[in-house]
Structure 1
Amino acid sequence: MKNLLSFILVFCCSIIVLAQKTISGNITDSNGKALPSASVTIEEPGKNAILAYAISNSKGEYKIIFTSSESDVILKVKAFNQKTQSKTIKNADQTQNFSLAGETTEIEEVKIKTKLITKKGDTISYDIKAFENKSDRSLADVLKKMPGIEVNKDGTVLYQGEPINKFYVNGKDLMEGGYGTINNSLPKDAVAKVEVLENHQPVKILQDKVPSENAALNIKLKKSVTMTGRGEVGAGFSPFLWNVKLTPMFFGQKNQWVVNYKANNNGESVENEGNMLSFGSRWEGRRSQASQKSWTNVETAGTPNIGEKRYLLNNVHFFSANLLTSPFKNKEWELKANASYTNNSIKREDYQVSVYDVGSRTVPLGGTFTSSTSNNFYDNAAKGELIFTKNAKKGFFKNTTTWNSFWNTDRAKVDNYLPPAVGETNAIHKMAMEDLNSPSGIFQNSLSTIVPWKEKLFNVMSYVKYQKDRQTMSINPGSYLIDFGFGNYSKINQYATSKTLEVDHSVSVGFSYKKWTFTPEVGLNMNFNNLNSAINGEVGGTNHFLGSDMLNDVDWNEIQPYTQLGVNFKSQNFNLNMTLPVNFYGITYRDNIRNKYLDQSKTVFEPTLFANYEFASFFKLWAFANQKYDFGNFGFLYGGKMLTSPTSLRVRSADNIEMPEYLTRSIGSRLEYRNPLNNLFFNVRYNYSTNKRNIIESYKTNGFTNELVLETMDNTSKSQTESAEIGKYFPKYKMNLSVSATNTDSNSFSFFNDLRETDSNRQNLGIKFNNAYFSWLSVDYNVGFNWSKSSNTTDNIDVKTSGWNHNLSTYIYPSENHTFGFFWDDLTTKVKGTNFRNSFFDVSYQYTWVKKKIDFELKWLNIANRKVYETVSVDVAQSLISTNQMYIRPSQFMFTVKFNFK
């Protein structure tokens, strides 16, 4: 099947490329002077539709590529103060020159009509006024309505289905990837237009040398110097609810800053605005979202697949400040300082019923297990960052220093019930309190500089990271872990401390020959890690040693010298990027308690490739391929037992275990079409990957608990995905419509008491629609359908599931000052005749003080006062069906005052 689909995709793309034609030439006026900025279009006879277009350059030269099945086409040229010319020509490659006659026209009345979407070179511009509704207030509200652009639930902005690599405001990157704050709090009235910068290479000295596969977003404000921002203050019940959002912003030519304080207990995780959503270019050095190393966790209640405002029981305070300034007269140098602090507490609760079929290899006699979990999470996080940058055509320098600290405390209360097995009379009822303290500290410094010397570019990169994590988990009573042999203790404590030092240095030189750029590079990666862990039993406040099999003292060290060659080709319509690395992996694993030593020394070839080709003005064809080895990482192996959760005891080692060796190969293709002339965007994708492994994780399940060990066993999983998305804006009806579809086929292997193979097939269909045709009404509607089939080929078990969800937002504007809103969320899951439907309804009223741009909003959420969210899931590998009731926020009222700072 996958080979047939690959052949069809390549065949169709080949037909498109072979069928395209190219026309080029020169455009001059009657005096023979070159005419720049003249528009050239191709049309088919008898049809009022433009197939392709081009704009002449400063020399009057043009080149237009198109595809048509007609034998003749119409070539038309227009220029200001020149008489339009058109020719009917053969549909073939050729050269056509034009000499336009001057024409002066007296204009009695001029009507200016702004184009909704325009394209110039690699820049596509959206007129924000064309896509906004009366209910929209922030930039994020409007972005969701623009064809070709999506906004994920986590705030990530996608263009043609791919994440953007930069988010600029007036050409400056203040937020360095953490753009959620600006996106959510920048008033849409301050924005003139949104620009998509296709194939964006953020390092200026590499532009026209090293192509990029990603696009960037540039927000152009109406004023070059802008003081703006959004604020909200609200209160409500029940219980007592509050919400504060204060985000003033300043965007100038030399300085930019954003100060952000947000706090609430009404179910909005504002702290996520500090997450990094884009990472720029590898030439800028290394930056990533800092996270703790997790060795153990308390049992955690589930979260429903609905908007977090419906279930998140929180109390959060989040403060952040971002500053960009040019400290020197040379404005090419920029200093950025970012800081943030989060204090957050979250409550969560659920009730789960797990049913194993009779004959299940995990629980052969079958059975029904019930479990309830209640959590309290207390999180504190602080971050500080200094970035010093010079990004110029004649050189590049960037140094980023980041500090992160976490102080987290997690608590859980669990209640499990296991009815008596067949032939027995005693049920098992277990309750426990669980506590986890996990402080962490992280320091990172990244340096990258590119220096030109004659025709060459020298790049030096250096990265240093140090991280320390400590975790202490306590389970009370210890008899809760009787299945692991801990029943004689009143409390069980799991301790874990890890340290990581990572150092990465590289040097490269780039030189160009015509349209080619070659970049040889050498580097050295070093990674040194240590883990210490212990499980203690406690009786009467005294800790007891449980044996050396409960201890770990493990070192995992990596030394990886490498050399690679980067090859880049860039022409007007074709870009090629290849990275050809030869990597030497030297990895050692040492268990200091058991005197066990393993190592891996291997030299491998790990190439990556991407290429794109633009044709017929509006089409772009992409191709991707890569090969990557994985020889494990810190935490993959350890010989002592660890409670990774109170119900999971793991040993990631065995007497005959080998060092892991995973090989992943991926190929993919994408065809894009973006036509600003008729506001149409679409993309079609195909991806195929394999993952060959020599180790499998083996689980032994016993009711509520499971144990894990590693087994040496070759297994290969495969995945294939086909997807398509089309979006169009209809200006006559002020309507944006998009449709997306995805099909995924995959297989996987698992070991629950024995080996099982699982095949799965999943389809998704999504439709998005928004309309503001009537001045008194606007509608936003999203609906998604999903179908899946999971097959346990080992036991010959098939299970089908399905579901759908829709989100409706409707606003009615009886007058300029008044807005009524109605909101309906509906989600359904279905497995083996078990069907759960979850419906939610909200209403709102908003009065707008137009002169002051202040909104007064009253909102009633969850009118039906639904208190639980119900869902059903299946695990064919274990012949298990689980139903889950997750407790959510009850009906509540909120009164909020919203305003702009200026």
Structure 2
Amino acid sequence: MRFIVPFLSFFSILVVHCQELKISGQLKTIDGKGIPYANITLKSAQQTIIAYTTSNIEGYFSFTLNDTTTTAHWLEVNHLGYKKFRTSVINGKMEYLIMLEEQPIDLAEVEVKSPPIRSKNDTLSYDVESFAKSEDRTIGDVLKRMPGIEVEESGQIKYNGKNISNFYIDGDDLLNDRYNIGTRAIPQDMVKDVEVLQNHQPIEVLRDKSYSDDVAINLKIKEDAKLKLTGQIKMGGGIPNLYEAELNSLLFNDKHKMLNVAKANDIGVDLSRELTAFNAENQLQSMNNQRPSEILSSGTVSEPNLPKERYNFNHSALVSANNLTNLKNSFQLKSTINLLYNRNDMNYNSLTNMYVNNDTIRYSEVQNIENKPLMADFSVSLKNNNKKYYFNNMLQVNFSNEKSVSDLQSNSFDFSQQLKTGQYDFSNKISYLHSLKNQHILSFNWYLNYFNKPQTLTINPGINDGALNDSIPFQAVNQITNLPTWFSNLSLSYRIPKGRIKQHYLVGLVSEWQHLTSNLELRQANGDWTPYGNSLDNDLYWKRHRININPSFEYEKGPWESLLSFPLSIQSINYEDVGFKFRENFSKWLFNPAWNLSYNLNSEDYLAVNYSYNNQIGNISDLYRGAILTNYRSLQSNNASLQERNLHNIGLRYNYQRNLQMFFMNASINYSKVRSNTILSHIVSNNLFQTVLLPFSNKSHDLSIAAGISKYLFDIDVNIGANASWNNTRYNQFLNNQLLPFNNLTFSFSPYFETRLLNFLFLKYAGRGNWTTSKMIGATAGIDFPDRQIQFFDQSLDLTFRPFENAFFKLSGRQLLTTQKNAENVKYLFTDLNFRYKIDKWKTDIELDASNLTDIRSYELYTLSSNQFGYSQYDLRGRMLLLRLSFRI
């Protein structure tokens, strides 16, 4: 509660500050004509810029301010061809008539500059030159310092706390949501503006006819940058045995766009992250397609909370070709080819304490892992997006193969294991929307997907013979799983976008076919392979068909907008496994209503509330009866009927922004309640973790509160902000035949700022603090689980020094601190040094990169979850020195 009270107080203060007053006026010439496009600045008595705007075509202007703002202001007006005007703001006076006097100008002395931020309707434009620094290279560097825009460490972009839905380059979606590769390759000096598109609707036929609260980003390319092909060549080498190479080519004209990249390195950079599709999971869920995840794993290894470059021992290569051509009659052809090879090694050891029945079970693990993933991805699409109709057909083919080999020591038992994983993924999506003569819209969508991810886990010598082989020693264990899946989603809809209430009626058919097979075999001492004796193998067939009827209604009047949908479906499920002699056929009606309501407080602020009820039926992973060895110490099976989950979710979001003042704020609260007819039961022993899904009523609750604030002080060049969140989760665990209710609390706070101390000295700070507490609710007989709390602090400081033109020194420090009760603090300080010199005449950069100067070779991490407390240790790369040359072509 000591975190909740100040947090809510902070939130209430922000809401109080949202009460506003308005200062407005008109600019006129001496003869009474309105003066458009003048720059009007509102300044404090200390000459700090508080607000900024421009006059409209008739000379009118206005400022919207918090009523707590001091009234000791000055109004300044600047316009080409008129004398500068300055007047004080009189307390209580809200309207001003300002007469400007014409003044001849010397055109040789005129320098035209764009304002840093411009706002028009739902589009907010950032002038890139106003936010770029001389040391910036890519547009990703500039995005990080734009107020209201956040770029997470993964590369995902948010605007005022909300994930962006699309990333465009001059209006074209070249990268298919994999925009990491673009933000890291596109030079910042090619981009004129970064546009934020609010309430974005990507389909022209639906624009202004369908509710949308999505946010997208569009990069406006400079006209002279569209004229020719450009690119970069990068080469680097260093110690110990380091190499890096990159070649990219870029072209962004109206006819053809391309972004082609080839990279290779062994400096720890994970190239697979450049192919991350940030909204892929949401897009699949919108089509009711939940792809099966990996069933088998090589162990319990988790990634540390460090940049991957610190611990990734790699040899990686990536080729990515993204090409788009605008054809005749508004057709657009787009293709993407991605090839990735990414061998990486990790040395890891861990200790896990699990508290059960007044006892503590300890798992220790030492693992040396070598992964060799190989991935090939291809997609091609043909699209036509105009006001009359929308057509898009996209074909995607993905193939990947990964081999993971590791040597392990678990609870002092040595063995080796090998995990092979393949992936075969084919999909085709066709969409067609047509605007009829009565302006109603008819649409057709069909998504077809085949997906399979076969896996084989081999462990040598045999382990856990007491549980797997009646205490008889054996040589090896082999687990094979295969789950091919066909999925189809076919729908037809009719939309009536006229009237006070806009109507949309959809009818769809969703079908799913799966076949799960698994084989668990043991190689006995005499070399013979025998099946696992305590369970049969799985041979489970699954079919699901669902007919959907979804009427939805949109209402818009003044500041109010609402979307109400009533999806009703009948679902038919058939599954069968002859070996276990069970077969089931049943049908069930599902009703999943959803409601979104927003109120626009003014042209920039809104308050939104949403509610949804989701009645979900489980999948094939709930049903298999045969035991599967999912990793060397986990044996899983099921003994329950199909899972049914009822999810209630309600959320409230407040969005506050002052675009021209470069001030952004958001706050949200979300509550969800889940009720299920099954629960996972865990049977824990010293060497094996057995999991069974049981028919037992279960429920969980989750409450989260979040807020963020960002402000850019342009006159002193400071970007400052903070994000905070609080989360409370209550859920149950069934452990060693006892029901244990747990409560997890997490609070995080992340401040940041960036400023220029002098013309040649720049400072950037980012911090993050996490407080995590896990405790058992109430008293349970025979259980004495201690409350646990971990505090984690991560803060970084970058100091950039420019001693002379085109030379940059950057010193970076990152401190990590973990604290807990009855244990020593764990703290680290990583330091890096970078020197770069630009030779403009040759379009060349010479760069020296020294990382991990203190040569830290290992990293310790503590984790906390319900009744588990974990300790992990990772090998790090140590000190590295790299010399890099970059050439612009």
TM-score (norm 2): 0.89
Which residue among 722, 728, 731 is the counterpart of 1:739?
722
Q: Following TM superposition, by how much is the alpha carbon of 1:560 offset from its aligned partner in structure 2, in angstroms?
A: 0.9
CA displacement, residues 812-864 of structure 1 (integer Å, 9 cap, x when unaligned): 11112432221212211122232211221222222221322311112222122
Helix, strand or coil at the partner of 1:640: coil
Asked if residue 894 in structure 1 is aligned to residue 882 in structure 2, the reply is yes
Q: 1:889 to 1:38 in 2, by over 3 A?
A: closer
Structure-1 separation of matches of 2:756 and 2:583: 67
Helix, strand or coil at the partner of 2:854: coil
In the TM superposition, what are the counterparts of 1:198-347 in structure 2 within 5 Å? 198-223=198-223, 224-238=226-240, 240-278=241-279, 293-328=293-328, 330=329, 332-347=330-345
Q: Following TM superposition, by how much is the alpha carbon of 1:526 offset from its aligned partner in structure 2, in angstroms?
A: 0.6
Asked if residue 447 in structure 1 is aligned to residue 437 in structure 2, the reply is no
Aligned to 1:361: 356
Q: Following TM superposition, by how much is the alpha carbon of 1:75 offset from its aligned partner in structure 2, in angstroms?
A: 15
Q: Which moved more, 1:315-324 or 1:125-134?
A: 125-134
Structure-2 separation of matches of 1:366 and 1:691: 30
Q: Following TM superposition, by how much is the alpha carbon of 1:39 offset from its aligned partner in structure 2, in angstroms?
A: 9.4
Structure-1 separation of matches of 2:294 and 2:445: 29
Which residue among 510, 514, 517 is the counterpart of 1:525?
510
Aligned to 2:821: 832
Helix, strand or coil at the partner of 1:213: coil
Q: Following TM superposition, by how much is the alpha carbon of 1:281 offset from its aligned partner in structure 2, in angstroms?
A: 10
* RMSD of Structure 2 on Structure 1 (CA): 3.9
Q: 1:520 to 1:9 in 2, by over 3 A?
A: farther
Asked if residue 645 in structure 1 is aligned to residue 635 in structure 2, the reply is no
Structure 1, unmatched stretches of 5+, are: 418-428
Q: Following TM superposition, by how much is the alpha carbon of 1:230 offset from its aligned partner in structure 2, in angstroms?
A: 3.4
Identity across matched positions, percent: 24
Aligned to 1:393: 387
Q: Following TM superposition, by how much is the alpha carbon of 1:724 offset from its aligned partner in structure 2, in angstroms?
A: 1.3
Structure-1 separation of matches of 2:76 and 2:566: 45
Structure-1 separation of matches of 2:667 and 2:708: 7
Q: Following TM superposition, by how much is the alpha carbon of 1:723 offset from its aligned partner in structure 2, in angstroms?
A: 1.4
Aligned to 1:868: 858
Aligned to 2:579: 593
Structure-2 separation of matches of 1:15 and 1:846: 47
Structure-2 separation of matches of 1:726 and 1:672: 10
Helix, strand or coil at the partner of 2:841: coil
Structure 2, unmatched stretches of 5+, are: none
Structure-2 separation of matches of 1:13 and 1:137: 36
CA displacement, residues 506-559 of structure 1 (integer Å, 9 cap, x when unaligned): 111111224542111111111111101111111354322334823001122211
Q: Which moved more, 1:194-203 or 1:611-620?
A: 611-620
Aligned to 1:563: 549
Structure-1 separation of matches of 2:810 and 2:746: 35
User: Is the CA contact (8 Å cut-off) linking 1:317 and 1:342 kept in structure 2?
Assistant: yes
Structure-2 separation of matches of 1:211 and 1:54: 30
Q: Following TM superposition, by how much is the alpha carbon of 1:476 offset from its aligned partner in structure 2, in angstroms?
A: 0.7
Aligned to 2:403: 409
Q: Which moved more, 1:866-875 or 1:337-346?
A: 866-875
Helix, strand or coil at the partner of 1:273: helix
Q: Which moved more, 1:511-520 or 1:783-792?
A: 511-520
Q: 1:335 to 1:55 in 2, by over 3 A?
A: farther
CA displacement, residues 841-891 of structure 1 (integer Å, 9 cap, x when unaligned): 2222222213223111122221222111012223442xx433221111122
Helix, strand or coil at the partner of 1:147: coil
For 1:236, the aligned partner's letter is G
Q: Following TM superposition, by how much is the alpha carbon of 1:791 offset from its aligned partner in structure 2, in angstroms?
A: 0.9
Asked if residue 351 in structure 1 is aligned to residue 349 in structure 2, the reply is yes
For 2:858, the aligned partner's letter is V
Aligned to 1:614: 600
Q: Following TM superposition, by how much is the alpha carbon of 1:485 offset from its aligned partner in structure 2, in angstroms?
A: 2.9
Q: Following TM superposition, by how much is the alpha carbon of 1:726 offset from its aligned partner in structure 2, in angstroms?
A: 1.0
Structure-2 separation of matches of 1:831 and 1:73: 50
Aligned to 1:845: 835
Q: 1:143 to 1:40 in 2, by over 3 A?
A: closer
For 2:343, the aligned partner's letter is S
Helix, strand or coil at the partner of 2:278: coil
Structure-1 separation of matches of 2:554 and 2:664: 28
Asked if residue 883 in structure 1 is aligned to residue 866 in structure 2, the reply is no
In the TM superposition, what are the counterparts of 1:459-478 in structure 2 within 5 Å? 459-478=443-462
Asked if residue 668 in structure 1 is aligned to residue 654 in structure 2, the reply is no
For 1:748, the aligned partner's letter is Y
User: Is the CA contact (8 Å cut-off) linking 2:796 and 2:812 kept in structure 1?
Assistant: yes
User: Is the CA contact (8 Å cut-off) linking 1:29 and 1:99 kept in structure 2?
Assistant: no
Aligned to 1:489: 474
Which residue among 632, 641, 644 is the counterpart of 2:618?
632
Structure-2 separation of matches of 1:318 and 1:433: 30
CA displacement, residues 465-507 of structure 1 (integer Å, 9 cap, x when unaligned): 0122321111111135543336432111111111111011111
User: Is the CA contact (8 Å cut-off) linking 2:423 and 2:452 kept in structure 1?
Assistant: yes
Q: 1:585 to 1:681 in 2, by over 3 A?
A: same
Q: 1:414 to 1:355 in 2, by over 3 A?
A: same
Aligned to 1:799: 788
User: Is the CA contact (8 Å cut-off) linking 2:82 and 2:104 kept in structure 1?
Assistant: no
Q: Following TM superposition, by how much is the alpha carbon of 1:622 offset from its aligned partner in structure 2, in angstroms?
A: 2.2
Q: 1:111 to 1:571 in 2, by over 3 A?
A: farther
CA displacement, residues 365-389 of structure 1 (integer Å, 9 cap, x when unaligned): 4365432111111111111101111
Structure-1 separation of matches of 2:448 and 2:368: 40
Q: 1:676 to 1:645 in 2, by over 3 A?
A: same
Q: 1:857 to 1:40 in 2, by over 3 A?
A: closer
Q: Following TM superposition, by how much is the alpha carbon of 1:571 offset from its aligned partner in structure 2, in angstroms?
A: 5.7
Q: Following TM superposition, by how much is the alpha carbon of 1:121 offset from its aligned partner in structure 2, in angstroms?
A: 1.4
Aligned to 2:529: 543
Which residue among 751, 761, 767 is the counterpart of 1:767?
751
Structure-2 separation of matches of 1:538 and 1:758: 41
Helix, strand or coil at the partner of 1:851: helix
Helix, strand or coil at the partner of 1:301: coil
Q: 1:444 to 1:609 in 2, by over 3 A?
A: same
Q: Following TM superposition, by how much is the alpha carbon of 1:704 offset from its aligned partner in structure 2, in angstroms?
A: 3.0
User: Is the CA contact (8 Å cut-off) linking 2:28 and 2:100 kept in structure 1?
Assistant: no
Structure-2 separation of matches of 1:77 and 1:890: 55
Structure-1 separation of matches of 2:757 and 2:10: 38
Structure-2 separation of matches of 1:840 and 1:319: 32
Q: 1:13 to 1:566 in 2, by over 3 A?
A: farther
Q: Following TM superposition, by how much is the alpha carbon of 1:409 offset from its aligned partner in structure 2, in angstroms?
A: 1.0
In the TM superposition, what are the counterparts of 1:114-263 in structure 2 within 5 Å? 114-223=114-223, 224-238=226-240, 240-263=241-264
Q: 1:536 to 1:68 in 2, by over 3 A?
A: same
Q: 1:805 to 1:23 in 2, by over 3 A?
A: closer
For 1:503, the aligned partner's letter is S
Q: Which moved more, 1:793-802 or 1:670-679?
A: 793-802
CA displacement, residues 598-645 of structure 1 (integer Å, 9 cap, x when unaligned): 455322221223333333444222222222122112322201110111
Aligned to 1:508: 493
Q: 1:781 to 1:90 in 2, by over 3 A?
A: closer
Q: 1:39 to 1:851 in 2, by over 3 A?
A: closer
Q: Following TM superposition, by how much is the alpha carbon of 1:220 offset from its aligned partner in structure 2, in angstroms?
A: 1.2
User: Is the CA contact (8 Å cut-off) linking 1:177 and 1:280 kept in structure 2?
Assistant: no
Q: Following TM superposition, by how much is the alpha carbon of 1:900 offset from its aligned partner in structure 2, in angstroms?
A: 2.4
Structure-1 separation of matches of 2:175 and 2:696: 46
Count of paired positions:
871
